[in-house]
Amino acid sequence: MIDLEQIKKAIAYTQAGKFEEACAIYNHLLSNNSDNPDLLSILGLCYVNIGNFEKASEILEKACNIKKTLGTVSALGFAEFERKDYKKAAEILENSLEYGENADIYNKLIISLFEIKNYKRAVEYADKMYTLYPEDYRAISNKVKALTQSGKLMDAQQLCIEAIKKNPDISVLWFQLGFLKELIYSDDKQARECYKAAADLGNPDADYNIAVSCVKLGEFEEAEKYYKKMLEKSPDDIDTMTSLGMCYLTQRKFKKGYDLFFRRDKSHLKDKTKNPWQVGDKIEDNVIVMCDQGFGDHIQFIRYLPFVPAKHIQVAVPKTLKEIFSKNYPDVEFIDYDEINPEIQSMRVTDLAYILNMDFDHIPFSSGYLKSSAAEIKNKKLKVGLCWEAGSAGIRTMINRTIHIICFEPILNLENIQVYSFQVDDTFSGCVKYPQMINLGKDFKSFADTAKALMAMDVLVTVDTSVAHLAGALGIKTYLLLPYASDWRWFRDTKTTPWYDSVEIFKQIDHISWKEPIDKIVEKLKAQK
């Protein structure tokens, strides 16, 4: 028999927020009823409230093994959600819907699916939650996110505005409206005002986005203020440190920026190395250089390899870069990631400039440092490579660095040139819409293939993506289209870059239109008959 008086006492403790006292009672009761699923479930929830999610998960899993109910299964899902094991949380919460449903389950399930990038399922459940709970602000917020992810930005904005009119005190809706102002209109001033409204209502992520807006507006001191404000609250937050570091790097403040940027998240490499280079360390005789970010980063910073004073260098690279790098650095051993010896001293390729103390006034090999044979592409017209879309990044970065193919019509319609597509992921179906463009990208299997095609071009016109770095490293004449708020590595340059002599920059003069920089490129191409 379970002591009902003790249960009442535990419930009273729970209602008063005294969860540890309640846990003590439930643990005592379980000493005589160890397999009671109801007691296990309630105890698990108490541990969730205390913040001991690992213990909560252990107890709730035991409860579920004895008897599955809506309460036990959903509580286990909540515990995994709080542990940030979003994959497991999504699986459990989806299964819990077999036993019943409520808004809390849908909300955490949708967030988990977005976290693990299962966008299709996230959108499906967001639609269902909105149908079931149209007045719940979380359902509205998830629907806005789903519409945004599906590319229905105007619908997302309309829903957001209507919801704010009814509920002006919901911070997440102001936050989402700010993000939509960025995506739809590139209006960072309006976006910043929305983020400030969200911050005033207590949104925990708003200060970060205010800082991002300030950086995009070129208001670096204001951005620094917000990043530092965030670090005062969370001094060990790696993402904020990294962002502040990039803010400094944009201003060419090498040491100040890299001191923070160097500390960026290393968790994805934790199983690869037990001996990472740290500030103050000597470079050992045997080192492994890891390519840890995007393809463009690998290409841009591989130039520093000849300066690494180690007797034996291994470089772990993606397979698509192995051939082009191996041919250009024959004395270096290029390996796959699963061949990494974690005991060997490691360093990230993007950190080589910092490790070698080669600041931005001493960028080597700006005239080019990669070589390749040329593909046989014969044409009497001016051969122009074109790349219009950036990928492998968050939606904010991707949209900021992608130009819709329709904007390139003035180039595509020039009579004196032949345009060749270097676009591998042709989301906008540009090659279908503009059949006068010859599609080379569809046949690229590696960057060695891309390099050969680039060597056959007279000029490359490209957005900020890996192809731009490859062309610059090869010394190919390149017209680089940069957004008004460009990535830190381009600093605030508007015409040339110290990284690549062969690259000429054509930068937006406002946040929205690409007409002026593309018109300038058209004039350049017309002059190259």
Instruction: Report the b/e string of 112-140 with b at 16+ CB within 10 A.
Output: bbbbbebeebbbebbbbbbeebeebbbbb
Residue 183 has pLDDT above 90, yes or no: no
Residue 392 has pLDDT above 70, yes or no: no
Residue 79 has pLDDT above 70, yes or no: yes
Per-residue tokens: 17: 């927020």
Asked if residues 425 and 448 have their Cβ atoms less than 8 Å apart, the reply is no
Q: What is the pTM of this model?
A: 0.85
For 299-339, what is each residue's pLDDT tens digit? Answer: 999 999 999 999 999 999 999 999 999 999 999 999 999 99
Q: What is the pLDDT of residue 396?
A: 65
* CATH code at 382-526: 3.40.50.2000
For 91-142, what is each residue's pLDDT tens digit? Answer: 999 999 999 999 999 999 999 999 998 999 999 999 999 999 999 999 999 9
**Other C-beta atoms lying within 10 Å of the C-beta of residue 240:** 22
Residue with the bigger pLDDT between 217 and 2: it is 217
**Phi-psi region at 17: left, alpha or beta (left = phi > 0; alpha = psi -120 to 50):** left
Distance CA 474, CA 468 (A): 10
Tokens 């993606």, residue located: 318
Q: What are phi and psi of 475, to 5 degrees?
A: 80, 20
Q: Helices marked H in 386-455 — which ranges?
A: 395-400, 409-412, 430-433, 447-455
Residue with the bigger pLDDT between 385 and 149: it is 385
Q: What is the pLDDT of residue 517?
A: 96
Mean pLDDT in residue range 371-397: 86
Strands 286-290, 345-348: parallel, antiparallel or unpaired by DSSP?
Answer: parallel
Upper half-sphere CA count for residue 446 (Cβ side, 13 Å): 12
For 406-443, what is each residue's pLDDT tens digit? Answer: 999 999 999 989 999 999 988 778 889 999 999 999 99
Distance CA 199, CA 439 (A): 47
Q: Considering only 48-62, 233-247, 254-268, 410-424, which range has the smallest mean pLDDT?
A: 48-62
Instruction: Report the b/e string of 208-223 with b at 16+ CB within 10 A.
Output: bbbbbbbbbbeebeeb
What 8-state DSSP symbol labels residue 505? E
Upper half-sphere CA count for residue 147 (Cβ side, 13 Å): 22
User: Do 33-233 and 382-526 share a fold?
Assistant: no
Q: What is the pLDDT of residue 397?
A: 67
Residue 476 has pLDDT above 60, yes or no: yes
What is the sign of the dihedral through the CA atoms of 341, 270, 446 and 481?
negative
Instruction: Report the SS3 class of residue 285.
Output: coil
Mean pLDDT in residue range 446-460: 98
Domain locations in the chain? 33-233, 273-355, 382-526
Q: What is the pLDDT of residue 59?
A: 87
Per-residue tokens: 463: 């957005």
Distance CA 476, CA 460 (A): 7
Nearest to 484 by CA among 512, 464, 508: 508
- Which fold is adopted by the domain 33-233? 1.25.40
Nearest to 525 by CA among 431, 430, 414: 414
